[in-house]
A and B are shown apart, each in its own frame.
Chain A
Amino acid sequence: MPLARTEFQAGLRASLPLLVAIAPFGLVTGVAMAAGGIPPLQAMAMSVLVYAGASMLAAMQLIVEGAPALVVVLAAFIVNLRLLMYSASIRPYFTGEPLGRRLLVSYALVDNPYALFIQRFGTHPGAAGKFDYFVGLAIPTWLCWQAAVGAGLLVGHQLPAAWKLEFAAPLAFIAMSVPLLRDKATAAAALSAGITAVLTHGLPLRLGLALAAAVGIAFGLFTEKLLRTKA
């Protein structure tokens, strides 16, 4: 099926500024994985198959601590809960598309292209060329991400431990979460989840992360409701 040229090209063009954010994050992910001692082949396989940087960093931290496999997978699932949100949010735009296309969109559904896609088609779920635009966004994003992780893995092994590059992982999470705090309800969700995570850190099987997510969502919803009844 040929792609509609114009929307595909519009997607390609729109993706270019994103690469400035994706390349460093991929690089940091690669460096952190290498610093944590994940072999390059497995790290690259994870990057291609899982294709979700935040969960890769979280998994790496747990693998280094020697956590059981199931705990690592569950923690990654919780970190990637936001992908469920993206899937639900982007669904109305692709309901009519064939299964193959929806599977492709699923694989390529990551933070930045999702945000740009919603920006362009936001209130026009019926507009033409959505799939082509999404593919235009997704291809450069994917290539840039994989190349950056690969480069990070290559360099990461040669960088001295004294540089404390493992700290790049929590810093990357700060970079991802702080810009989200635009309203009071989201801030309440983040604050309550952060406090819960600190208080429950000693719990086995990383139950703290699941608890923190639940508490955060509850506080977010509660604050939203509180503000709405006040207004």
Chain B
Amino acid sequence: MTLWLIILGMSVATFGQRASFLLLPEHVKLPLLLRQALRYVPAAVLTAIWAPELLLQKGVLSLAPGNERLLAGMVAIAVAWRFRATFATIVAGLVALHVFDRLF
């Protein structure tokens, strides 16, 4: 039941975001600062999602080689930077995770 509530809430929120500016009347102009600020949203938000997943182990910062998620993530970052390919990045990261898991 809660799950359906979440789905409903997400649907309304997401559609609202997409429709927001498209449904504004023609004469409304957007402030320059807002348009500039929105440009940094994707990079900021997407990085904020994965950074804790890599750097924290059980909620504690872990930069030791025993943190195989961090090592695998660095491999994935290198692949994403070099090839800009979603599938290659994910496969490389998963393979690296298993390799580092065996090593350490």
A contact residues vs B (CB 8 Å cutoff): 21, 24-25, 28, 38-39, 42, 45-46, 49-52, 54-55, 58-59, 63, 69-70, 72-73, 76-91, 94-96, 99, 102-103, 105-107, 109, 163-165, 167-181, 185-187, 189-198, 201-202, 208-209, 212-213, 215-217, 219-221, 224
With an 8 Å Cβ cutoff, the count of chain B residues facing the other chain is 67
Question: Is the Cβ of A217 less than 8 Å from the Cβ of B14?
Answer: no
Contacts A168-B90, A197-B51, A198-B61; A54 near B22 (Cβ below 8 A): no
Which one of A39, A79, A198, A221 lies within 8 Å of B45 (CB-CB)? A79
User: Which residues on the B side are within 8 Å of A109 (C-beta)?
Assistant: 18, 22
Chain A residues with CB under 8 A of B46:
54, 79, 173, 176-177, 180, 190
Q: How far is the CB of B91 from chain A (nearest CB, A)?
A: 9
B residues 47-94 near A (Cβ < 8 Å) are 47-56, 59, 61, 69, 72-73, 76-77, 80-81, 84-87, 89-90, 93-94
Q: How far is the CA of A201 from the CA of B26 in the complex (A)?
A: 41
Out of A54, A84, A95, name the residue touching B17 (CB < 8 Å).
A84
Is A85 within 8 A of B86, CB to CB? Answer: no
Contact status B80-A175, CB under 8 Å: yes
Given contacts A102-B23, A197-B51, contact A164 B45 (CB under 8 A): no
Q: Tell me, yes or no, whether B103 is within 8 Å of chain A by CB.
A: no
A24:B87 contact, CB within 8 angstroms: yes
Cβ-defined partner of B44 (8 Å) among A49, A94, A178, A216: A216
CB atoms of A85 and B39 under 8 A apart: yes
Instruction: Tell whether, in the assembled complex, residue B76 and residue A174 are in contact, meaning their CB atoms are under 8 Å apart.
Output: yes
**A194 contacts B14, CB within 8 Å?**
no
Q: Are A83 and B17 in contact (CB under 8 A)?
A: yes
On chain B, the residues within 8 Å of A58 by CB distance are: 49
Tell me if B's interface is mostly helix, strand, loop or mixed. helix
A209 adjacent to B49 (CB under 8 Å): yes
Tell me whether B53 and A179 are in contact (CB under 8 A). no
User: Which B residues are closer than 8 A to A by beta carbons?
Assistant: 2-11, 13-15, 17-24, 26, 30, 33-56, 59, 61, 69, 72-73, 76-77, 80-81, 84-87, 89-90, 93-94, 97-98, 101
Min Cβ gap B4→A in Å is: 7
* Given known A-B contacts A171-B93, A175-B80, A175-B90, A91 and B41 have beta carbons under 8 A apart: no
Q: Which of B35, B43, B61 has the most CB of A within 10 A?
A: B43
Give the dominant DSSP class at A's interface.
helix
Complex contact B41–A185 (CB within 8 A): no
Q: Which residues of A contact B20 (CB under 8 A)?
A: 84, 87-88
Residues of B with C-beta under 8 A to A78: 45
Question: With contacts A28-B90, A177-B46 known, what are 10 further pairs, Cβ within 8 A?
Answer: A54-B49, A63-B6, A76-B9, A79-B49, A80-B13, A87-B18, A91-B21, A106-B23, A170-B54, A174-B76
Contacts of A88 in B (CB 8 A): 20-21, 30, 34-35, 38
Contact assessment for A179 and B80 in the assembled complex, using a CB-CB cutoff below 8 Å? yes
B92 to chain A, nearest CB (A): 8
